[in-house]
Amino acid sequence: MDRIRRNERLAAMTRILVESPNKIFTLGTFCEMFGAAKSTLSEDIDILRSVFAQFRLGQLDTVTGAAGGVRYRPVLQPEDAYRAVKDLAQQLAVPGRILPGGFIYMADILAQPDIVERMGMIIASQFYRSEPDFVLTMETKGIPVAMMAAKALNVPLVIVRRDSKVYEGPAVNINYLSGSGGRVETMSLSRRAVKEGQRALIVDDFMRAGGTARGMVDMMREFAVTVVGVCVLVSTQEPSKKRLEGVKSLLVMDGVDESSGTAAIRPAAWLAQAAERARLG
Amino acid sequence: MDRIRRNERLAAMTRILVESPNKIFTLGTFCEMFGAAKSTLSEDIDILRSVFAQFRLGQLDTVTGAAGGVRYRPVLQPEDAYRAVKDLAQQLAVPGRILPGGFIYMADILAQPDIVERMGMIIASQFYRSEPDFVLTMETKGIPVAMMAAKALNVPLVIVRRDSKVYEGPAVNINYLSGSGGRVETMSLSRRAVKEGQRALIVDDFMRAGGTARGMVDMMREFAVTVVGVCVLVSTQEPSKKRLEGVKSLLVMDGVDESSGTAAIRPAAWLAQAAERARLG
């Protein structure tokens, strides 16, 4: 094999780091791969770090210690995150999305890999420090965005089912209050899915009264799992009193005009504030 | 801004291309981003193409014509694809995975973003030439791998539901035969989800008799959509006569030993053959 030049190494390392977000690669891994010295690779990583910062392409960290190395996190800058969420709000505010009962049609949006990946990255970036062991979601609509958050965090995605399935093995079932009306429904989670003492990040696509999110928190209590956060893509302004407090959302739906089929929807205040703080430097 | 050096450009371009697989970027996009001439960027892309090939990091193509540019596809080499699927087979063959009724517990595997992403890439790589407009799957277990195939193909993911939901709007419901026993069940797809004349790639996690896959093909007929392929992660050897012919699978389950809870599972023959052909050059 020819001697590998720096620009080739940088391209190959970028590809490897970007496809495995939040995974620590030791310098040794790259030394072996490229036949280069550690000092050379340290310089490479310095270059990459500044390129990523300059072009706002995410965050490259050097992790020290025994399990140290280099790690890529697809963290958007606050202004970029705000802009991405605002774009999504505009797409959701297009007339005709509101269905009978005040529901909003989002399935097409949640089907777009680039959109859900970006939203998953924004969610993940809020919870890197909480170090969840897995992302928890409830079937079905929230799975794509929860999967992308799990990918950005480099943890598994655990899916709560509406009923127990033969191919999930023994399961824990709990009842929860669904919808503003408070219907009693059941959710089910395989006993094998999570372990006692783990840390869960709950991600879902939509929250109105918060019954489903509350049910997932209760479910985690049954498994003796700590919930490090709850984050939804869209929450409604009403009812202002939710069944679960402390839920973070990317978008807030202030209301709907059923006659025109239009939603009043905007980025959550915390995103606007973070963007404003970043702008002021 | 300082003048941007080649190695910085290469790293930034790699990050941008890799995070948007199968999307064509014009040279103009990069010219503007880096303030460089087209000839310079053509050289950059030649370097990247050879680096990606050398380290087996996927495929970089130059697309000619009016809508031309450069495009990254996360295509694994046949030997790497075979090895990844064989690794998965070994994980699934661990004793204790077989549940009563001969079902295999796969939820933990389907929860691992790196595994489902790699499987999604292998599936996508078989269907780039078929140019699907979307990936279709049936809720719930298959969603993560179908989402990752959709991401690699850069197309939306459309999810068929077990019943119609208020937040999906008007829907088409059809009946299908589920399971080897042939129970009649219903599947539902929102009328807004797909358009007449589109091309669908059907992806699912598991196929036994093929009733669900057949149901999805029938559903696509209702929407006047062409099915360009059907691909599942695991199919069973028995029954050998499926309700749908021509289904591609990555893994084949030859049988189960219920007493030890172990599955006999292996990569499909086409993967082994492709790896063998590549090895012989």
Query: What is the nearest CA distance from B74 to chain A, expressed in angstroms?
Result: 10
Give contacts of A151 with chain B, Cβ < 8 Å.
113, 117
Per-residue model confidence (pLDDT) at position A114: 96
Q: Is the pLDDT of residue B1 over 50?
A: no
- Closest Cα to residue B58, out of B4, B21, B11? B21
Mean pLDDT value of segment A38-51: 94
Share of chain B above pLDDT 70, in %: 99
B84 located within any domain = yes
Q: Of B73, B104, B128, at which residue does a domain stop?
A: B73
B257 located within any domain = yes
Do B103 and B17 lie in one domain? The reply is no
Mean pLDDT value of segment B71-91: 97
Mean pLDDT value of segment A50-78: 93
Do A226 and A99 lie in one domain? The reply is yes
In terms of CA atoms, which chain A residue is nearest residue B56?
A12
Least CB-CB distance to B105: which of A15, A20, A169? A169
Select the residue from B167, B195, B201 to test the A interface by mutation, using most A Cβ atoms within 10 A.
B167
Do B164 and B242 lie in one domain? The reply is yes
Q: Of B73, B101, B129, at which residue does a domain stop?
A: B73
B54 located within any domain = yes
Do B62 and B183 lie in one domain? The reply is no
Mean pLDDT value of segment A39-66: 93
A22 located within any domain = yes
Sort strands B59-63 and B69-73 into parallel, antiparallel or unpaired. Answer: antiparallel
ipTM comes to: 0.95
pLDDT digits (tens, 9 = 90+) for A146-196: 999 999 999 999 999 998 888 888 999 999 998 767 789 999 999 999 999
Give contacts of A55 with chain B, Cβ < 8 Å.
12, 15, 33
pLDDT digits (tens, 9 = 90+) for B149-187: 999 999 999 999 998 888 888 999 999 998 767 789 999
B20 located within any domain = yes
Q: Is the pLDDT of residue A104 over 70?
A: yes
Q: Of B37, B56, B73, at which residue does a domain stop?
A: B73
What is the rounded (10 degree) CA torsion for B120, A15, A145, A259?
-100
CB-based burial, B249-275: b 16+ in 10 Å, e otherwise? bbbbbeebeeeebbbebbbbeebeebb
Do A60 and A143 lie in one domain? The reply is no
Mean pLDDT value of segment A102-119: 93
In terms of CA atoms, which chain A residue is nearest residue B7?
A7
Do B160 and B198 lie in one domain? The reply is yes
Least CB-CB distance to B11: which of A14, A100, A206? A14
Mean pLDDT value of segment A210-224: 97
Per-residue model confidence (pLDDT) at position B264: 95
pLDDT digits (tens, 9 = 90+) for B140-153: 999 999 999 999 99
Confidence bin at A235 (pLDDT 50/70/90): very high
Query: What is the nearest CA distance from B13 to chain A, expressed in angstroms?
Result: 8
> Is A107 within 8 Å of B19 when comparing Cβ atoms?
no
Give the C-alpha separation, B191 to B206, whole Å.
Answer: 26
Give the C-alpha separation, B155 to B132, whole Å.
Answer: 8
Specify the CATH number for the domain of residue A155: 3.40.50.2020
Per-residue model confidence (pLDDT) at position B2: 52
B29 located within any domain = yes
Do B130 and B254 lie in one domain? The reply is yes
pLDDT digits (tens, 9 = 90+) for B213-271: 999 999 999 999 999 999 999 999 999 999 999 999 999 999 998 888 899 999 999 99
> Is A166 within 8 Å of B100 when comparing Cβ atoms?
yes
What does pTM read for this prediction?
Answer: 0.96
Specify the CATH number for the domain of residue A33: 1.10.10.10
Per-residue model confidence (pLDDT) at position A193: 94
Do A147 and A94 lie in one domain? The reply is yes
Share of chain A above pLDDT 90, in %: 86
Q: Is the pLDDT of residue B129 over 80?
A: yes
The range of the structural domain enclosing residue A37 comes to 6-73
Least CB-CB distance to A107: which of B10, B143, B190? B190
In terms of CA atoms, which chain A residue is nearest residue B74?
A19
Give contacts of A74 with chain B, Cβ < 8 Å.
19
Domain count, chain B: 2
Confidence bin at B194 (pLDDT 50/70/90): very high
Query: What is the nearest CA distance from B248 to chain A, expressed in angstroms?
Result: 22
Per-residue model confidence (pLDDT) at position A67: 80
pLDDT digits (tens, 9 = 90+) for B89-104: 999 999 989 988 888 9
Average pLDDT over chain B reads 94
Per-residue model confidence (pLDDT) at position A161: 95
The two structure tokens encoding residue B238:
């028995």
> Is A167 within 8 Å of B99 when comparing Cβ atoms?
yes
Per-residue model confidence (pLDDT) at position A180: 66
> Is A113 within 8 Å of B156 when comparing Cβ atoms?
yes
Per-residue model confidence (pLDDT) at position A2: 52
Per-residue model confidence (pLDDT) at position A65: 85
Give the C-alpha separation, A36 to A67, whole Å.
Answer: 20
Q: Is the pLDDT of residue A32 over 80?
A: yes
Give the C-alpha separation, B270 to B249, whole Å.
Answer: 9
Query: What is the nearest CA distance from B14 to chain A, expressed in angstroms?
Result: 6
Select the residue from A15, A47, A114 to test the B interface by mutation, using most B Cβ atoms within 10 A.
A15
Do A132 and A57 lie in one domain? The reply is no
Query: What is the nearest CA distance from B43 to chain A, expressed in angstroms?
Result: 12
Q: Which residue type occupies A41?
A: L
Give contacts of B52 with chain A, Cβ < 8 Å.
11-12, 15
Query: What is the nearest CA distance from B279 to chain A, expressed in angstroms?
Result: 19
Do A253 and A126 lie in one domain? The reply is yes
Least CB-CB distance to B147: which of A7, A50, A113? A113
Do A30 and A139 lie in one domain? The reply is no
Q: Is the pLDDT of residue B208 over 90?
A: yes
B1 located within any domain = no
Mean pLDDT value of segment B100-124: 93
A93-102, A128-137, B41-50, B120-129 — which is least confidently predicted? A93-102
Q: Is the pLDDT of residue A45 over 50?
A: yes
Q: How far is CA A217 from CA A133, A213, A246, A270, B16, in A?
A: 15, 6, 12, 23, 37
Q: Is B56 left (phi over 0), alpha (psi -120 to 50) or beta?
A: left
Do A103 and A229 lie in one domain? The reply is yes
A1 located within any domain = no
Only one residue has tokens 């990936």, namely B135
Per-residue model confidence (pLDDT) at position A1: 43
Q: Which residue type occupies B251?
A: L
Instruction: Collapse the DSSP code of B239 into the 3-class scheme (helix H, G, I; strand E, B; otherwise coil) and give the result.
Output: coil
